[in-house]
A = this chain, B = another copy of it.
Amino acid sequence: MVLVGLREDAKTYVWSKKKACKEVGIESFEENLPEDSSEEEVVNVVGKFNDDPSVHGILVQLPLPKHINEERVLAAVNVEKDVDGFHPLNIGKLAMQGRSPLFVPCTPRGCIELLLRSNIDIKGKHAVVIGRSNIVGTPAAMLLQQHQATVSVVHSYTPNPAEITNRADIVIAAAGVAHLVRGDWIKPGAVVIDVGINLIEDPSAKKGYRLVGDVCFKEAVTKASAITPVPGGVGPMTIAMLLCNTLESAKRAFGISDQ
């Protein structure tokens, strides 16, 4: 893990990932760089992990401080250790037919895993992805399409997101807007996966705030045939898929096949 000027809210993620590694027996290394580190210094730390044969997965905790070029740092990660799956080469292969990415980004992979393990058919279904970020929306749309869904991507320039979402059999909400998706956006019987993690003020909460998703759960739950909560739905899957990607990377490095 490469951490630069770790923000308070990122500490929880990092802690959860370290804990999960320990539970399954994956050794984790971390390098904590100060907020004012230069891009060069960050790239050098990535290079050190690239060269270390005992490291099979490299995670650069995002967002990076604004003076650092995220594209350059991510491109420095050896594509064979890119367990986040954010390298454009991985994203390109994910988008293309007949190509196999080395890694699938963790959160979208977790969304699909939730569907598969809940025996929800994807093939031939209409899926709507709300949001088109590089780390969730875009790869989630690619994965759903790989599983033979018809996919529509709704974003901030979509004039009628509720109308389009209302036609979906499967909704993946990844816009990063608290309670964006209301009950009337959901077709009765649809499956709803809420990737959003938003902090909203709540004077009744101990810390003064609480975590909510992109979906207004209490409305959507009355329409959906299946729905994930926030917190506790997709979040733990993201970490589980990170561990899977890391294990697969190690197996590849040691030439261990699944067959």
Q: Taking beta carbons and an 8 Å cutoff, which residues of A are in contact with B?
A: 71, 87-99, 123-124, 126, 132-134, 138, 142, 145, 148-155, 157-159, 164
**Chain A interface main SS type:** mixed
Given contacts A88-B93, A95-B142, 9 further A-B contacts (CB under 8 A): A71-B99, A88-B89, A88-B99, A97-B138, A126-B164, A145-B153, A150-B153, A151-B152, A152-B152
* Choice from B89, B96, B164 contacting A134 with Cβ under 8 Å: B96
* Choice from B123, B134, B150 contacting A154 with Cβ under 8 Å: B150
Considering the complex, give the chain B residue whose CB is closest to the CB of A150: B158
Quote the shortest CB–CB distance from A62 to chain B (angstroms): 12
Quote the shortest CB–CB distance from A179 to chain B (angstroms): 21
Instruction: List B contacts of A99 (CB < 8 A).
Output: 71, 88, 134
Quote the shortest CB–CB distance from A16 to chain B (angstroms): 26
- Contact (A134, B98) CB under 8 Å given A150-B157, A154-B150: yes
* Choice from B71, B92, B123, B142 contacting A88 with Cβ under 8 Å: B92
CA distance A231 to B126 in the complex (A): 33
B158:A132 contact, CB within 8 angstroms? no
* Choice from B89, B124, B126 contacting A92 with Cβ under 8 Å: B89
What are the nearest 3 A-B pairs in CB distance?
A92-B92, A88-B92, A91-B92
A91:B95 contact, CB within 8 angstroms? yes
A148:B157 contact, CB within 8 angstroms? yes
Most chain-B Cβ atoms within 10 A of its Cβ — which of A90, A91, A132? A91
Quote the shortest CB–CB distance from A151 to chain B (angstroms): 6
CA distance A95 to B139 in the complex (A): 9
